Structure 1
């Protein structure tokens, strides 16, 4: 079964307000077995548009990734971060099929 991912691109308008979201999201993500693969960091946009912060979380499967987002615990965090940021979030199935050249 393929893993699943949250791919988030975020612009933070008020870091002081956003810090509480950061402080509290770890407990929710741990509850769903999420693992940060990308959490901010240096980046360079080569095509299209970008935001100032990029995050990729890995989940064991698509159902778990959706359950985490839809959980009351995470929806409380969405309400907490929304006044302080604007972003895009995609929840996507991973790919575990054949790779080019294999």
Structure 2
């Protein structure tokens, strides 16, 4: 079984119109690259460190698929609309092959 890949974004939006355009284009890239949206906006609570008001988690079939999404021409086109619209931390994370729990 291949580990899933996750794109995790923490965002502070400064220009909501430009960010909305980015989000629309990014959604098309997500659909094309098989992203499953696990979290998008919604409630959050700062536990430690600085929080951002918008948090997104996308799941992909693999780490490489998540990277291909970010590198794709579709996402890079969307990204251009976001560059001056928001401050963001964005990373790709490899999941675990099997759920880890207390045994």
TM-score w.r.t. structure 2 length?
A: 0.93
* Deviation for aligned residue 1:98: 5.5
Moved more, 87-96 or 16-25: 16-25
- What does 1:28-43 correspond to in 2, within 5 Å? 28-43=29-44
Root-mean-square deviation over aligned CA pairs: 1.1
Give unmatched runs, 5+ long, in structure 1. Answer: none
Give unmatched runs, 5+ long, in structure 2. Answer: none
TM-score w.r.t. structure 1 length?
A: 0.94
Number of residues paired by the alignment? 102
Counterparts of 1:31 and 1:98 in 2: how far apart (Å)? 27
Partner of 1:18: 19
Tell me, what secondary structure is at the counterpart of 2:83? helix
* Deviation for aligned residue 1:101: 2.1
* 1:21-75 deviation digits (Å, cap 9, x = unpaired): 1122211101110010000001000111111100000000011100110111111
